[in-house]
Amino acid sequence: MVKLRAYLDSSGKLDSNYLTLAAVAGNDDMWNEFEMEWDKILASHTPKAAYVHMRELAFQVEGFDKNVGWNDNNAFGLSNKCLMHMSYQDKKRFRIFYCAVDLQAWRKLKAETYQIPEPVELCNTYCSETVIGWYLHHYPDIINPHADSVRYFFDRNEYFYQPFFDKWTEKKNIAEKTRAWTPWQTIEEVVPAEMKMTPGIQAADIIAWAVNRENTVQKGKTASYMAHIIRTVIPSLFVVWDEAKMRQQFKPLIYKPW
């Protein structure tokens, strides 16, 4: 049986201008090697790092304090090494996912009575749940659809964890009562994890931060190019909910077709 692990982290706040949820997913048997190599990258870098967290890295604070030698060059040099490591993974076994929401546009359209899901629901639907769809599509002849074989790890205190956990629980309970199979039954567990101890969540943090950076700063600014490079070198599935896409996908409560 092919088992899958997915790690998720976000960038941005609900009261900010942009919000991105990212996931990295891969076969269970690749993660031990991935994590060992990740730790080697951190330990061999100058200065050494205990973990990667893009907010700290970008501003050289906390674990990446300027007083211990961190600067833009070696900080982003570390994140680039981590991205290269992700790009070396087997393209059949490793995939990134993300969903980004322009919160300014979302608020504008909500004020115009557009019937749009909440940002957390949008991101869980088009990122977290997309992992299951990719898994079932990619391994239709290998997986046992009635076995628990997918594990989700969210960074602690994420907006997205509890709603996703609750939906998973609800879907499983309905399936057990009706005896009608659902892809949600392939999920073995949905748990929070400590970012500083979990390379997979650190990888998702890099993706989420890069996408948010791409959508919130002018081109040419430091690291504004990272998301483009990520999409170029790592297989990815994603959606960006900007104003045009939300107007196309959703309709206002008071709708005139002419």
Helix (H, G, I), strand (E, B) or coil at 30: helix
Rounded Cα gap, residues 198 and 7, in angstroms: 9
Q: What is the pLDDT along the chain (258 residues), one digit of tens a residue?
A: 678 999 999 999 999 999 999 999 998 889 999 999 999 999 999 999 999 999 999 999 999 999 999 999 999 999 999 999 999 999 888 999 999 999 999 999 999 999 999 999 999 999 999 999 998 887 765 555 556 689 999 999 899 999 999 999 999 999 999 999 899 999 999 999 999 999 999 999 999 999 999 999 998 898 999 999 999 999 999 999 999 999 999 999 976 555
- E-state strands within the chain: 4-11, 18-27, 94-102, 150-155, 187-193, 236-241
Q: Which residue has the tokens 């269970």?
A: 28
Could you give the C-alpha distances from 18 to 12, 104, 201, in angstroms and in order? 6, 7, 20
Q: What pLDDT score was predicted for residue 192?
A: 97
- Can you read off the two tokens belonging to residue 50? 């205990």
Rounded Cα gap, residues 131 and 112, in angstroms: 32
First to last CA, the chain: 53
Rounded Cα gap, residues 81 and 66, in angstroms: 20
Q: What are phi and psi of 190, to 5 degrees?
A: -130, 110
Rounded Cα gap, residues 204 and 21, in angstroms: 8
pTM of the predicted model, to two decimals? 0.94
| Beta-bridge partner residues of 108 | none
Rounded Cα gap, residues 160 and 124, in angstroms: 7
- Can you read off the two tokens belonging to residue 8? 């998720």
- E-state strands within 103-234: 150-155, 187-193
Q: Which residue has the tokens 């991101």?
A: 123
Q: With b meaning 16 or more CB within 10 Å and e meaning fewer, what string describes 206-224? A: bbbbbbbbbbbeeeeeebb
Rounded Cα gap, residues 12 and 134, in angstroms: 25
